[in-house]
Amino acid sequence: MIADLWSKARQSLLFLSMVIIGLVFAFPLVWIAMSSFKTRVQNFALPPLVIFQPTLENYTGLFQLQNPAFMADYRNSFVIAVGSTVISLVMGCLTAYGFSRHEIKMGGCLFGWILSLRFFPVVAMVIPIYVLFRGLKLLDNHAALIAVYCIFNISFTIWFLKGFFDEIPKSLEEAARLDGYSPFQVFYRVCLPLVRPGIITAAIFCLIQSINEFLLAMSLTARVAETAPVALAKLQTAVGPDWGKMCAVSSLLIVPILIFTILVRNQLIRGMSFGKLK
């Protein structure tokens, strides 16, 4: 009897702690979303308003914003993210397949080096690339930022997809070769379709990483190719503590990431760690 009660109490306690944990991590986001619908005055209210008359003025204000031109920047973020993701996937697929199926001299070292790029401090890349691009007049254009993002996206894609390619049984490829497929056709017709789920997941991770990136975007762009995170940083200094606008921008950056996260929720561990964990 007592044991039953004790176990029920434990269950309830665990359930409560679960809810609290969920709230701790989710509530700030909810609060930010709510605050984006408040006026400037409402955001300075004490005690903080939970019930209030929502307004769209922060969002409409963003449309009209010139400095920074937020909507243009927001679009840039997506354009650059998609561009970099597509290129990285193409190159990454090829090389991941290469690492999976072909032994090359120092292949292990090479693969390890590509993996280690994930640990590389971005600031160490920014400085020489900024200096070089400045000299080559390559600053503030989409292609430059796309190319730089490809560095990290390709290395991620290679490591992520190699595991998927590894899982394809060699006998499948050998059968295809016997049927007269060229090596490229084996890759393109047999293996590639089989790793499609991996490709989609890798694409989403690359998109997330590219949209969220800040330091490179801030250093290498100015007006034309500026991205949304840079606009957010500029907004802070331009309009001071206009929390409503800041929350609106944050919400606009959180929502796509939220959608993408839900899409890859089952692959999150693989995407964020070495993926050796099954």
Residue 55 is given by DSSP the state -
Is residue 80 within 8 Å of residue 225, measured between CB atoms?
Answer: yes
Residue with tokens 């401090």: 121
Smallest gap from Cβ 26 to other proteins, in A, equals: 4
Restricting to residues 55-84, which ones interact with other proteins according to CB under 8 A?
Answer: none
Residue choice 86, 94, 168, 192 for contact with other proteins (CB under 8 A)? 94
Q: How far is CA 21 from the centre of its chain?
A: 24
Which residue do the tokens 């922060």 mark? 58
Residue 60 Cβ vs other proteins, minimum distance, rounded to whole Å: 20
DSSP alpha helix (H) spans, 54-106: 57-64, 70-101
Span interacting with other proteins, options 67-75, 92-100, 161-169, 195-203, rule CB under 8 A: 92-100
Which residues inside 178-237 make contact with other proteins, applying CB under 8 A?
Answer: 178, 182-184, 187, 208, 211-215, 219, 229, 232-233, 236
Are 78 and 226 spatial neighbours (Cβ–Cβ below 8 Å)? Answer: no
250 lies in the binding site for other proteins (CB under 8 A): yes
Among positions 7-66, residues that touch other proteins (CB under 8 A) are: 11, 14-15, 17-19, 21-22, 24-26, 28-29, 31-32, 35, 43-48
User: How far is it, in rounded angstroms, from Cα 36 to Cα 211?
Assistant: 20
Q: Verify binding: residue 6, other proteins, rule CB under 8 A.
A: no
